[in-house]
Amino acid sequence: MYENCDALALRRYPFSETSYVLTLFTREFGRVDALAKGARRRRNPLFGHFDFLAYEEITLFRRPRSGLDLATAAAFYSDFPRLRSVPARFAAAGIFAEILLAACQPSDPHRVLFDDLLATLRHLDAGGNIFTTATAGLLLMLRELGFAPRLHECVNCGATNVARAFLSPSRGGLVCENCAAAAPEFLLSRLDLARLRGEADGDARTLRTLKHYAEYVLGRELVSFHLFFRLMPRG
């Protein structure tokens, strides 16, 4: 059965001298693995498509029993050219792709997650504050995957407007000083908390704290962050 879908290319690698195997994140079907026959040939209509995080309409021939669909046609919406021209912005986008590859299962649609990610990529492409955009995008992604931290009250006692707060990965959100323990918990200033809540522009410290939280709840190191922080201009 042939079906059209909106897709972001997460990964491609050579399958033969002429073809690619793709991992796509689609609005309609979630994560999809597909074979693009002949896509490495210059005269093939698929040549030049499926670059990392290119946003395209793709026609798939669905093959549920094989586990590998066929990508038979593709048409560009955008490849985010301005995002690609700034290495740190492109590296930030790579963080989201790494999380999707780790957390999303095949044929499990996440339409809201797809639209949130697309909005984040567009904002990065338009030149928005990179730390603010990355922090907001990561929080949206964690929310749609079911891992969002609670940021408006202590997860233990329900206290709000505490003088000192900590972000606790093991407890799933904010804890006040009275409830904090020696577990891996990260002290937040009032400004840090405002940044996590989207009430102030982001910064490197807040994003690093959220990185540790995301790695804990996802159960894996997010190596894309290392490249991102190396590429971010200092000062």
Q: What is the CATH number of the domain that holds 124?
A: 1.20.1440.120
Quote the strand ranges of 83-228, DSSP E.
165-168, 173-176, 186-188
Q: Which residues, listed in sequence order, are joined to residue 11 by a DSSP beta bridge? A: 23
Cα dist from 27 to 8, 114, 220, whole Å: 9, 6, 25
pLDDT one-digit tens code per residue, 172-187 = 999 988 888 755 688 8
- What does the alpha-carbon distance between residue 20 and residue 109 come to, in Å, rounded to a whole number? 23
Same-domain check for residues 111 and 203: yes
**Among 22, 23, 121, 132, which residue's Cα sits nearest to residue 77?**
121
Same-domain check for residues 217 and 175: yes
Choose the final residue of a domain: 79, 98, 131: 79
Choose the final residue of a domain: 79, 102, 123: 79
Same-domain check for residues 70 and 107: no
| Domain carrying residue 36 | 2-79
Same-domain check for residues 60 and 95: no
Q: Number of folded domains in the chain?
A: 2
Same-domain check for residues 92 and 191: yes
Choose the final residue of a domain: 44, 59, 79: 79
Question: Are the C-beta atoms of 27 and 47 separated by less than 8 Å?
Answer: no
Same-domain check for residues 100 and 163: yes
Give the residue ranges of the chain where pLDDT is below 70.
Answer: 182-184, 233-235
pLDDT one-digit tens code per residue, 44-97 = 999 999 999 999 999 999 998 888 999 999 999 999 999 999 999 999 999 999
